[in-house]
Structure 1
């Protein structure tokens, strides 16, 4: 069996457990007044589990496959792909998650976007810095001001 089908089989198992939880265990502890609502807290997980099970079955049975292409990933040739970039980018994501609270949203997100672009091969420093800063400020404004969710913008010693 191909690698994508093995992954789909594992994903199907996870989705079945998630679906069982959404369909049978989440609604048991609902308050009586919520049982009359048309939308319950488990409505989205139920829909998500059905869609994910359907998607994994499509991959598992090979319905989406047409003709084999040259551009498909071959797990026997993983050493030919840019795994170093992917691993460094994953490490950068972990570092971003760890630094988000102590360093603050603005500095950590700007650094993540800047260094992520650098890892992926962009070398226009001014363009990377300006896009990272502008994007970070727009996202911070939308989350902070529009949605009303407080995010520490700067580290504590800088007044965040």
Structure 2
């Protein structure tokens, strides 16, 4: 029997638990953080939000400032490579640039458990492939970027 539900946060959390998808809720936002992506190098946040129109899954990836122009030139290709993801760069004055990958599952008419799981898994897989691509391009901000080179004192 096909059961369509308009998912709320509690239903989404039950579905994640039922599917064995590790997640947690932080005290900073109303999103469900997906541990599988959250724990990967370069990922700042990977969250699933229950919105009025559906479910928004978004992942923010910290990128090296020096790779910003090269990555900007690759955005169209990346969006064509992963058509289910909306990929864009977020730059503000207070933080390092971020590559954002997101997807929306419209849910106002209802969603089945199978649709939900397919949506989450397809998004996680596509985002993992995007992370690998970014790593191959040398765009990810990593631990080696945090070290400040020593400078000789001026006399």
TM-score (norm 1): 0.24
* Larger helix fraction of residues: 1
If you compute each CA radius of gyration, which structure gives the higher value, 1 or 2?
Answer: 1
Greater relative CO (CA pairs within 8 A, separation 6+): 2
TM-score (norm 2): 0.24
* Larger strand fraction of residues: 2
